[in-house]
Structure 1
């Protein structure tokens, strides 16, 4: 089973509001870790099946949104020549996920020739922004094997991608997929 990389592709609006609460809790927990000061952190609400866009996402994530799927999907990130759904391994750590997104951003720009104002870049940048707190938490130091500081490298790519497209953090947070229009089926003649 596969689940999309980006919260806006997984959740309905109520689920996205719950996700925002969870993100605030995670930030407060990071603050506790940084300061050593115990904070009064309220437990956010658990997810329900109604929070997810598809039942399969719910069945693979559950009430705490814990990934149990095998693959992560990247809808809309395929090349123009091959529109097959791109998949990644759900077992990638946050650094690997950020690297995949940065590589997609670079490839679509330099290899596939997407113009910088192509709207398909926005969800990729939103996905990168969404995982950056985790990248900063776990990979914000020089890594000899990596040859650099992964968090700084990916943050630079995110900042450049946003600046090139005149997008703010709020623009990325507010991005939602275009709603599909339900059309009438043509009558058989």
Structure 2
């Protein structure tokens, strides 16, 4: 069985489980998935800037790659994909009161590890 690889978005699911995407998606497909997810979370769950910042930061990181690998105008939409996703990102930032620096400065929260408890030795 081939080994599948995934990209993860910790703390980005609706129910607290790990949100996964397929690592086989190209940059454009990843951007499409993130914009769809952001749109749905805003529309259906009223997520705020705090919950959306990691997803928007991920989208921001993809934009240079989308521009590089998908430079042609999309015949269906009449615009370059990177331009469309940049416009989407800018609109989200404006509506949420965020700046690009908020995205580039965002870091995932530090994970805390649980201490292992040791059982007393049996005598």
Which interval holds the TM-score relative to the shorter structure? 0.7 to 0.9
1:26-79 Cα offsets, whole Å, 9 max, x none, are: xxxxxxxxxxxxxxxxxxxxxxxxxxxxxxxxxxxxxxxxxx961111212211
What is the aligned partner in structure 2 of residue 173 from structure 1? 104
Measure, in 1, the Cα distance between the counterparts of 2:116 and 2:69: 51
What is the aligned partner in structure 2 of residue 135 from structure 1? 66
Measure, in 1, the Cα distance between the counterparts of 2:10 and 2:112: 18
Q: Give the TM-score, by structure 1 length.
A: 0.53
Structure 1, gaps ≥5 residues long: 1-67
Is 2:84 aligned against 1:156? Answer: no
Is 2:18 aligned against 1:88? Answer: no
Q: Give the TM-score, by structure 2 length.
A: 0.79
- In structure 2, relative to structure 1, the CA distance for the partners of 1:143 and 1:162 (3 Å cut) is same
Structure 2, gaps ≥5 residues long: 118-123
- In structure 2, relative to structure 1, the CA distance for the partners of 1:92 and 1:173 (3 Å cut) is same
- In structure 2, relative to structure 1, the CA distance for the partners of 1:163 and 1:91 (3 Å cut) is same
Stretches (4+) displaced over 6 A? 183-186
What is the aligned partner in structure 2 of residue 49 from structure 1? none
Match of 2:8, SS? strand
The size of the alignment, in residue pairs, is: 116
**Equivalences for residues 36-115 of structure 1 within 5 A:** 70-79=5-14, 82-114=15-47
Q: Tell me how large the CA RMSD over aligned residues is.
A: 2.5
Q: How far did residue 107 of structure 1 move?
A: 0.8
